[in-house]
Structure 1
C-alpha cells in the first residue's frame, strides 16, 4: 500500500480533493478523517458528498452523530464522532448496520469509536501547514489503494 501526501492551499482545493475522490467511489468503502478542529474534515466531506450528487448544504453531524444521504444508488453516511463520550454508544445506535455493501461511510474523529468501528479502507489525515493544509492519504485495503490510484490517474488527465 502506497500513501500519498497532498498540499492544499485553501478551502477550494480541499473541496476539490473530495470531488476528485468522489469520481472513483465504489461501495462498500470506509473513509476515516482525522485532524484538529477546523482542519478541513467537513470541508473535504462536502466536496465529496456534493460531487456524488447532493445539492444542499453539507454540515457536520456533530450532534446527531450521523447524516445519511441516498445519492445515485450509494448510501452515504457521514459520521462525526467528536462529541461521543464512549465508543459503546455506537453499539446502541446500531453502527454495524451502516457499514453495508452499498455504503460509503465517512467518519470524522474515528479514534472516538476505537474498538467498535470497522477498519477503514482509506485514512485521511489533515494537518495545518503554514496557511494551507497537508493531507496524508494512507490506504488500508485494496479498495483504498484503488481509490488512491484513481486520484493519481485523474491528476494525469
Structure 2
C-alpha cells in the first residue's frame, strides 16, 4: 500500500493503515522529523487511546490502552547504543506479548526484530506532503 497525504489527512491515513491487516509488530522507517511519532499518534487515536500520546524518547517505551482494552506499546529506540540495552530492558517480552508494538528507529535493534512484521516507510516530499509505503 502506498499513500501520499498532507498532515491534515493523517487521521484518514491512519484508518487506511489499520484496515490493511497489519502485523502486531510495526516498524517505522524515516529520517528525523519526518513524522513517525505524528503518524503513531494518529494510529493510537484511531484505536481509541484516550491518554496523551508522546514520543518515548527518554523512557524508550510508552504503554497505552485502546478503547477495547488492548495494550499498545510505542517504542522510540533512537537513544539505544547497543542491542544488548534493548534486550536488557526486556524488549523481546514486549515483541512476543501479542500486543501491538509500534517501533521508531528499529534499525537500532535489527537482530531482535521478529521476522513477522509490517514495515512503514515515510518520506517527506518537497511540497510538505508525506509519502507512506506499508509492506
Deviations 1:88-107 (A, max 9, x none): 11110111111235300000
| Number of residue pairs matched by the alignment | 133
Find the partner of 2:57 among 62, 76, 80: 62
* Length-normalised TM-score, structure 2: 0.87
- RMSD between superposed Cα atoms in Å: 1.9
Say which of 89, 102, 106 aligns to 2:102. 106
CA offset at residue 134 of structure 1? 1.0
Relative distance call for 1:53 and 1:65 in structure 2 (3 A) is same
Note the 1:37-56 alignment, pairs <5 A.
37-56=32-51
Q: List runs of 5+ in structure 2 lacking aligned partners.
A: none
| Counterpart selection for 1:30 from 11, 25, 34 | 25
- Aligned-partner Cα distance in 1 for 2:108–2:53: 21
Q: Secondary structure at the match of 2:58?
A: coil
Query: What TM-score, normalized by structure 1, do the two folds share?
Result: 0.76
User: What residue in structure 2 maps to residue 84 of structure 1?
Assistant: 80
SS at match of 1:19: helix
| CA–CA separation in structure 2 for the residues paired with 1:120 and 1:44 | 21
Instruction: Report the alpha carbon displacement of residue 116 of structure 1 after superposing the two structures with TM.
Output: 1.7
User: Structure 1, unaligned stretches of length 5 or more?
Assistant: 139-157
